[in-house]
Amino acid sequence: MKDISQHPCFNKEAHHKYARVHLPVAPQCNVKCNYCNRKFDCVNESRPGVTSNVLNPEQALNYLKKLVKIMPELKVVGIAGPGDPFANPGQTMETLRLVRNEFPEMLLCISTNGLNVLPYVDELKALDVTHVTITLNSLRAETLEKIYGWVRYEKRGYFGKQAGEVLLERQMEAIDKLRDAEITVKVNSIVIPGVNDEEISEVAEFAAGKGVDLMNTIPLFPVKDTPFENISEPSSEFMKALRRKVENFLPPMSHCARCRADAAGLLGKDSTEAAQLLSEAAKMNVETGEERPYVAVTSNEGILVNQHLGEADRIHVFKETPNGYKLVNVRATPEMGSGDNRWKEMAESLSDCRAILVGGIGPKPSKILAHSGMQIVEMSGMIDQGLDHIYKGAELRTLCKTDMFKCGTDCSGKATGCG
């Protein structure tokens, strides 16, 4: 019998005793949060959306098997990104299945924006996922319009107030069905001064009426290169007063550590040994008898080919399966500023890839990668279209003739690795 009181995020008394791990298997996202900059490898930052590696489900299980040997206090396995779990439902659900089969007593949880949870609630219940967190930042579409740059739902993009309306409607449906399934629900609200800080009590009252179990009010962490980078973080005094208001409706969470998407250990005390195991797991070869079976892609969000190779800090790696294309993993690119060595190291790290899809590429990296035997396709558009071109010989209608010398408007075009 699982003891749900052992979940350190939902029970303050448990966070000094029991550990959790976030398995970073969900790199893609279906909303653009104006407070988020999902840097791939930023080891000194502890905030959602950050991870040192992205794993596929098999790698995640391998990592977890090793982790439980060194962390006997580990009781909870969660998926919290670095994108959204249900923008990556294949990877998310397969990981949950593998973990449940191998560790039947482990508590399973998900943290999501709620946009695409609904179709998976029944299976979450069947897998005995006990806890789900939904980020609910406002009940007003005009406020959500300020918080989200866009929302992508069922292959369609939404902007402005309509984006807020679509997101809010899906979140309400998700909360209702999760509570009907008797899954414990926590609501997270990012407190953004001058944007939604006066609406948090309204969210708390509404969530309580929906049967939500707990609320976590998280102060905005201003992140560079985001629309909210110049908004000051709410003071601790303001947050304490806000939580007292929330307490009129719901139990407030007051011990949040703003965990990374690859967090492992006690809250606020992530394990350095776990970080090493994560790095090793990401390098684990996927079993295959085919030579160079993969295709590398430069992409900002894992949906479109839309990034110049010189600007990419990560590479998405895909493979063809009988059930369509599958994201194998996401790999960090070598350090910028090392000239030709950067491209040689990249060629070595992508030696199992037959091709690379890029939004742009300079002549030097093009030559070095091509010399390694990799086909280079410069294009813009959906990743699946590029993969159809590589694997099936489909005509590629999205080829673009961009300036191959420039990564950006200020680039010198010398192909030295952007810095």
Q: What per-residue confidence (pLDDT) applies to 98? A: 94
259 in a structural domain: yes
Q: What local confidence, expressed as pLDDT, does residue 19 receive?
A: 84
- Both 268 and 326 in one domain: the answer is no
pLDDT at 410 over 60: no
Q: Are residues 161 and 99 in the same domain?
A: yes
Report percent pLDDT > 90 for the chain. Answer: 53
Q: What is the pLDDT of residues 268-323, one digit of tens each?
A: 666 577 788 887 887 664 443 346 889 999 999 889 999 999 999 999 999 999 88
Answer yes or no: do 266 and 307 share one domain: no
Check pLDDT > 50 for residue 234.
yes
Q: Identify whether 417 is part of a domain.
A: no
Over residues 361-380, the pLDDT tens digits come to 988 898 888 777 788 888 99
- Give the closest residue to 352 by CA, choosing from 264, 293, 418, 279: 293
299 and 274 within one domain: no
CATH number of the domain residue 103 falls in: 3.20.20.70
How many independent structural domains does the chain possess? 2
How many percent of the chain have pLDDT more than 70?
83
* CA 51 – CA 47 distance, rounded (Å): 9
Instruction: Find out whether 329 and 56 touch, Cβ atoms under 8 Å.
Output: yes
Range of the domain at 186: 4-280
* Range scoring the smallest mean pLDDT among 146-155, 194-203, 332-341: 332-341
Do residues 230 and 158 share a domain? yes
Lowest mean pLDDT among 70-74, 258-262, 331-335, 346-350: 258-262
Asked if 274 and 336 sit in the same domain, the reply is: no
The enclosing domain of 324 has a CATH number of: 3.30.420.130
Mean pLDDT in residue range 125-153: 95
Task: Kindly state whether residues 317 and 250 are assigned to the same domain.
Answer: no
Q: Same domain, yes or no, for 272 and 308?
A: no
**Amino acid sitting at position 169:** E
Q: What is the mean pLDDT of the chain?
A: 84
Instruction: Compute CA 301 distance to the chain's CA centroid, rounded to the nearest angstrom.
Output: 9
Distance CA 61, CA 57 (A): 6
Compute the distance between CA of residue 184 and CA of residue 352 in angstroms, rounded to an integer: 42
Parallel, antiparallel, or unpaired: how do β-strands 214-219 and 184-191 relate?
Answer: parallel
Closest to 328 measured CA to CA, from 316, 336, 337: 316
Last-in-domain residue among 220, 248, 280 = 280
How large is the C-alpha radius of gyration of the chain?
A: 22
Q: What is the pLDDT of residues 22-61, one digit of tens each?
A: 999 888 889 999 988 765 444 444 556 677 777 888 889 9
**259 and 199 belong to one structural domain:** yes
pLDDT digits (tens, 9 = 90+) for 67-92: 999 888 888 999 988 889 998 898 89
Task: Quickly list DSSP for 53-87.
Answer: -B--HHHHHHHHHHHHHH-TTEEEEEE--BS-GGG
Examine residue 289 and state whether it is found in any structural domain, yes or no.
Answer: no
| 257 and 310 both lie in a single domain | no
Q: Do the beta carbons of residue 180 and residue 208 sit within 8 Å?
A: no
Confidence of residue 130 (pLDDT cuts 50, 70, 90): very high
Q: Are residues 204 and 272 in the same domain?
A: yes
- Pick from 11, 13, 24: nearest CA to 327: 24
What one-character-per-residue DSSP string does 148-197 give?
EEEEEETTEEE-HHHHHHHHHHHHHHHHHHHHHTT-EEEEEEEE-TTTTT
